[in-house]
Amino acid sequence: MDAMAILSIFVLSVFVGFEVVSKVSSTLHTPLMSGANAIHGVILVGAIIVADHSETSLELGLSLAAIVLATINMVGGFVVTDRMLEMFKGQKK
């Protein structure tokens, strides 16, 4: 892909990332960190792509390990964040 397009996407994403979390009460720091943590579990997509492209058993083995780790990161992350937030329901004044 065009390097300039990638740079634009990157820079704009940085600004969006800064903007969306600039005002957060400390109560939500832990769930927000946990949720962001789950989002980077989307590296699972990359792990599946490299597993598809693997030609040697070494490559396949390493990419399968990556899939296992990424799945734990993504699914576990969203589940534990949901459990944390479940505690807050109906607690607001």
Partner 1 sequence: MSRTLYDLIGLAAGIAFILALKGLSHPKTARRGNLIGAFGAGLATLVVFFYASPSVSGKAESSLPLNNLGWILGAIAVGLIIGVPAARRVQMTQMPQLVALFNGVGGGAAALVAIVEYLNLGLEATTAQVVFTVFTVIVGCVSFSGSIITFLKLQELMTTRPVIFPAGRFIIAATLISVIGVGGWVVSALGTTPLLILAALSLLFGVLFVLPVGGADVPIVISLLNAFTGLTVAASGYVLDSVLLIIAGTLVGASGTILTRLMAEAMGRSLFGTLFGAFTAKQQDASGVAEERPVRSGSSDDVAILLNYARRVVIVPGFGLAVAQAQHTVRELADLMISKGIDVAYGIHPVAGRMPGHMNVLLAEANVPYDQLVEMDEINPTFAQTDVAIVIGANDVVNPAAKTTPGCPIYGMPILEVSNAANIIFLKRSMRPGFAGIENELLYDPKTMLLFGDAKSSLTKVVSALKAL
**Which residue type occupies 29?**
H
Largest CA distance in the chain: 59
In eight-state DSSP terms, residue 89 is T
Q: Which is nearer to partner 1, 4 or 87 (CB)?
A: 87
Map tokens 């989002």 to a residue.
Answer: 39
Minimum CB distance to partner 1, residue 2 (Å): 11
CB of 8 to partner 1, least distance (A): 10
In the complex, least distance from residue 22 CB atom to partner 1, rounded to whole angstroms: 6
- Which is nearer to partner 1, 4 or 26 (by Cβ)? 26
Question: Cβ distance 65 to 19 under 8 Å?
Answer: no
CB nearer partner 1, residue 4 or residue 55: 55
